Amino acid sequence: MRLPRRALLALPLATEATAQTQPAWPARPITLVVASAPGGALDAAARVLAPRLAALLGATFAIDNRGGAGGALGMDVAARAPADGHTLLFAHLGVLVIHGLLRPCEAVDTLTAFAPVSLAVEVPSVLVVPEARPWRDLPALIAAARAKPGALSWGHSGIGSTNHLSGALLDRAAGVETVGVPYRGGAPLALDLLAGRLDFSFVTSASVWPHIQAGRLRPLAVPATARSRFLPEVPTVQEAAGLPGFEVRNWYGLLAPRATPAPVLAALGAAMRAALAEPEVIAALDRQGLEATPSTAEGFAATILAEREKWAPILKAAGVTVE
């Protein structure tokens, strides 16, 4: 169902003169800059949402994958785009929050450069090992890492990505030394996991869900305070290894360049909330291990600020730095 154009573009108390000066939107295809390589969970979520947003807004959407630097490349591209509603950013917590904490002098400031539109999904993650590895639980993996410092390797999607933070925090919390290997996205990381070129990794459940079901990857723990409804039999890190308070959330959201006109931002927000309420969209996300989590623009901005306040002291205490 397409939202009525009046509902999407109306401004409260707008005058007739204001309406007449508002440029038509969308006037051309909308580019959705996805801050990851193709094939990962962020890309999958974007490809579920883009067709529905296109239908609701009466627009054409083109996805522009920009992986690299943990998603910072995509953020830079979107920040430089004209603020006319024809370029949007779909990105994750790692680039929107963590990158700025690690590179404050280099990074684009999320809330200065962008106007948050809406949260999109919550992304559960899980620690997995290849089926050929002998470890059946997290304590066994930790014991192996302690026995051979620096011998076990794991993958991440860039410094400051949530799977990088999870691996670094596991090292610190468990008192072990392992080797993090950077990748340009979740898809190539998963390929090396399946091939046995990595010993373990924290990954989004969406990116490896079929491989877990097929037994090619073995889940050991989830980095959350409660078990995932997608993997209810898998314990939390705290349950499995007695590491209290071990939690690394991940979420994706939609943003637009900061000076994007208010009516366009309102239209985008309304379309996002409508799309994320559709049973077909919820089911499509659910099948990939993603949970629809719409919000208001104000709620999304508050989430970004809260995550900054949470992660700044944790990063400092954990000694996570740009390599």
Do the Cβ atoms of 78 and 36 come closer than 8 Å?
Answer: no
Query: Residue 1: its pLDDT value, please?
Result: 45
d(CA 31, CA 241): 44
What string of pLDDT tens digits covers the 323 residues of the chain?
A: 455 544 444 434 333 444 455 678 999 999 999 998 898 789 999 999 999 999 999 999 999 999 877 788 999 999 999 999 999 999 999 889 998 898 887 778 999 999 999 999 998 899 999 999 999 999 999 999 999 999 999 999 777 778 888 998 899 899 999 999 998 777 788 899 999 999 999 998 877 888 999 999 999 999 998 999 889 999 999 999 999 989 888 899 999 999 999 999 999 999 999 999 999 999 999 988 899 999 999 999 999 999 999 888 878 876 777 65
0.85 surpassed by pTM: no
Q: What's the pLDDT at 241?
A: 97
* Contacts with 19 (C-beta within 8 Å, 6 or more apart), sequence order: 11
Tell me how far the alpha carbon of residue 221 is from its chain's centroid.
Answer: 19
For the chain, domain boundaries: 27-122+250-318, 125-241
Looking at the domain that runs over 27-122+250-318, which CATH code has it been given?
3.40.190.150
Cα four-point dihedral sign 321, 120, 218, 189: negative
pLDDT at residue 16, as a whole number: 43
Q: What confidence score (pLDDT) does residue 264 get? A: 98
Using the CB atoms, write b or e for 41-71: b if 16+ within 10 Å.
bbbbbbebbbebbbebbebebeebbbbebbb
- Bridging pattern class, strands 291-292 and 114-122: antiparallel
Fold of 125-241: D-Maltodextrin-Binding Protein; domain 2 (3.40.190)
Read off the tokens for 155: 């993958």
Q: Is 237 exposed, middle or buried (0-12, 13-18, 19+ CB in 10 A)?
A: buried
The string of DSSP codes covering 103-171 is: -TTTSPPHHHHEEEEEEEEE--EEEEEETTS---SHHHHHHHHHHSTTT-EEEESSTTSHHHHHHHHHH
Q: What are phi and psi of 168, to 5 degrees?
A: -65, -40
Strand stretches in the chain, DSSP E: 30-34, 61-65, 87-92, 114-122, 125-130, 153-156, 179-182, 201-204, 217-221, 251-257, 291-292
From first CA to last CA, the distance across the chain in angstroms is 48
